[in-house]
Structure 1
């Protein structure tokens, strides 16, 4: 299996531009863009990007850039209005793409020049020493999809479909012939605040198309992805998932053209949405085809079926996959102090991934789909994530990702509109992110409104990520698990996690304490590791996070350490 380059471990800052730069603080549930505001491409200034760079980040993932369906009317600038009955939230879901060749008008200061403003952001990001990742949403599009700015010669999705066929490998969509689409009963788009003549519980789609989450019915439920239509890569789902890949379905080339369009604008990578709903074979075809022209392009897959990870890397040619069902889940249990949580769960993840895919796993503790650490739904206190974040960032050579606002302890409190009070920052609604806005400080991006505790928290993230960025052992080093060697040591318990990362030039001992109380332990390095690293006698250890020094008179007897509650050390020796 080809291993990704470890010259530069990806340290990714995920930004939702609609929320990131918004300084409005009204936060009215179901509020309009005029009431609640929206961040803009232009808000992500040189100063903002320099602050991101200074924290140790290497890449910025701009989430929700491509034009998607919305309840905001832009018909005055030539963008066809969407029917709110098939839009989720006043702002709309960034994953209900309306035009793959355009960007979200909400994010532009001058809507007519929205693409120019995004291109300027790409250039600005590069000028500030960061690389750009953006979304690829391959499985589904908005029910109102139609490109009004597509390049000359491009055929739109569905333009050449035979709509009398439920399935044809030549079609871009799946159809429910002779049936009209039915809007799910009980949906109140935009809440009571939205007054629109289009809000009538009807949407004219005939024949109906299959819904994005593999619902082959004209009447999806309110819990389905009813605002989207599934794209057809040549798999006959209703006939034993029979593949029809020869000849290549038209959709494959259309999606290649779209990805090429963005790569040509200087994009450095794509985070690909719900890759398991698209066949391996397509990815194995399109990724090498794009890399033939853009060899440094990075592909990250959102994946949840761990039994298929290896296939998505080997057959699908992805560089990295989400490690949600694995490390994220294990660390969340420990961070929440759940009764049966144990750091052996982390070992279990590492052993499962040690068949060559560990370096391909993207680790995180927050993203737009998950609950905020500081929310009551997760931990209620952002400091409880310190040991988990240390492990997340240093376990392997694979990427680590932080979601904007995580570093200031944003709790995502309140009901935003379509999004309920669920501990997540809404991707569907216009909203301000209060604790993050304190760092923005009205566009100064200097943290001027943060509390002393928030500044300290942000300093922890900066110290951790900068250390990872600068440390050869953490970027590229080997991993040595130290749980088994220490399970009978005085002070050991299964809410601590211990390992080493090393190269020929640098060695780091990582010790984390997930306990809610202080712990003292004597950590031993096994004989084979001592020999491998040619260690003996007295040794000094320096914590790379704080600069604190620790000593042992004889490394063969280990080193005795006291760790505060929910803390960790990165000991260089």
Structure 2
């Protein structure tokens, strides 16, 4: 199959798609109609790897040596930021932006060779990890071969006839999806990397690419491999209709920042969650996070934005409905540093610490409790009656599995008088110690303190 996929990249998807579909139909079955996603995704934890900064070397080979550490942390999916050669025209900084891609079907020599990437992928799969690639469908670098080798209509043009620049992205050239050749070529890109064995894609600025392209492209690649995982860098229910498994929960992220800064409260969070419940299908995964590459470099680390609430907000992203939790490079050791985006700026030597244990326990919590599964498999959320305004008190329940969540989302102590919804004998998920809750027996949560309790 891999040889056929590579032929597609060389000669065009449409010329070999019929053969591929025949083979795929003989070897793979589609996801059941009652199941929205691949089985391996429902309790997954996502790790965003900034390959350039992940190790001092910044290479696939060096990163591969660290994969057992991520596996032991409880990571399931490794998302690689773009791994392709970076354009030189308009380059920002000395190394450039990963998102200014010159050649979609090659790897950045800064990171190694294609063989090095394939060995990284093989090692990840040996460890039971999945790998998804950053797919930058909106634009290329201004010096990509397509700019001169393909017809002018492959790119959106400005009034001077030059490829158009969006926002302050002066190192890119925007592709024109009104041109059929662009759609075919970008489908070839997806097919090429599926042929390499990647497990899915995070799709950069998905809202800048037409919805009908996503529908078309995903139908083709899922006919080849039904269990691919697809994440949109966008927020909105339409992207789930397009075929994406997951979307960014950007609004949630902003509300969590505002609560941590005293600008909003738990009441605002409850309003947003109700809105999500109304607008998004039950099957939707929502990627929830306290940091990512954009937030870290441009808006600051979680410690800058959230202060003493950083751990509280991270824990909350693991227990809310539909969550797909994200860990960004360095968060697992509490690295309080804004990465230089266009330069080499690696994480210091990896040493396990209290943050490693924190994320390890959260990941184990997610894996062990069906109530916290993503999408339509997740447990029902029920608020505790009578909770004070600054406390998020709720349960997640699926069958016999019950998770009690009590979060003080303020910088002041808050009294909690538990009701029958949260009463019982439990284990504190973060300490492993017994923690019974007696209805009517008041206790206090300190500033930003939280409890996550599981069935004893």
Q: How many residues are aligned here?
A: 414
* 2:275 maps to which of 333, 352, 371: 352
> Are 1:513 and 2:436 matched, yes or no?
no
* Partner Cα separation in structure 1 for residue 234 and residue 85 of structure 2: 24
Match of 1:480 in 2: 381
Residue by residue over 1:544-568, the C-alpha shift from the partner in whole angstroms, topping out at 9 and shown as x without a partner, is 1112223345xxx455443333222
Do the aligned residues in 2 keep the contact of 1:3 with 1:360 (CA within 8 Å)? no
- Partner Cα separation in structure 2 for residue 357 and residue 411 of structure 1: 36
In the alignment, what sits opposite 1:389? 314
Against the structure 1 CA distance between its residues 377 and 542, is the aligned structure 2 distance closer, same or farther, given a 3 Å change threshold? closer
CA distance in structure 1 between the aligned counterparts of 2:125 and 2:310, rounded to whole angstroms = 31
- Give the corresponding residue for 2:27: none
Asked if 1:11 is matched to 2:61, the reply is: no
- Structure 1 partner of 2:427: 542
Checking the alignment, whether the CA contact within 8 Å between 1:386 and 1:567 is kept in structure 2 is no
| Contact 1:390–1:512 (Cα < 8 Å) also in 2 | no
Q: Which runs of 4+ in 1 moved over 6 A?
A: none
Structure 1 89/464 Cα, relative in aligned 2: closer, same or farther at 3 Å? same
Q: Which residue does the alignment assign to 1:186? A: none
Asked if 1:456 corresponds to 2:357, the answer is: no
Asked if 1:229 is matched to 2:173, the reply is yes
Q: Which has the larger radius of gyration?
A: 1
Secondary structure of the residue that 2:273 maps to in structure 1? helix
Alpha-carbon deviations, 1:192-248, whole Å to 9, x = none? xxxxxxxxxxxxxxx4111144xxxxxxxxxx21111100001xxxxxxxxxxxxx7
Distance 2:452 2:86 in 1: 43
Give the secondary structure class of the aligned counterpart of 1:509. strand
1:144 corresponding residue in structure 2: 143
SS at match of 1:371: helix
* 1:482–1:525 contact (8 Å) kept in structure 2: no
Q: Which runs of 5+ in 1 are unaligned?
A: 23-37, 70-81, 109-113, 147-155, 164-170, 180-206, 214-223, 235-247, 413-423, 440-446, 531-537
Measure how far apart 1:479 and its partner are: 2.6
Unaligned 5+ runs, structure 2: 1-33
Q: Distance in 2 between matches of 1:19 and 1:290?
A: 31
Q: CA contact under 8 A between 1:518 and 1:564: conserved in structure 2?
A: yes
Deviations 1:417-442 (A, max 9, x none): xxxxxxx3122112223xxx131xxx
CA drift at 1:130: 0.5
**Structure-2-length-normalised TM-score:** 0.85
Please give the TM-score of this superposition, normalised by the length of structure 1: 0.68
Q: Residue deviations 1:254-313, cap 9 Å, x none? A: 110001000111110100000111111111111111101110111100014xxxx12121
Shift of the alpha carbon at 1:2? Answer: 7.2
The 3 A distance-change label for structure 1 pair 493 and 438 is farther
Residues in 2 aligned to 1:507 and 1:566: alpha-carbon distance in whole angstroms = 23
The residue matched to 1:501 in structure 2 has which SS? strand
Q: Which of these residues, 13, 29, 52, is aligned with residue 70 of structure 2?
A: 52
Q: Secondary structure of the residue that 1:321 maps to in structure 2?
A: strand
Cα distance in 2, alignment partners of residues 346 and 272 from structure 1: 27
Match of 1:312 among 236, 239, 246: 239
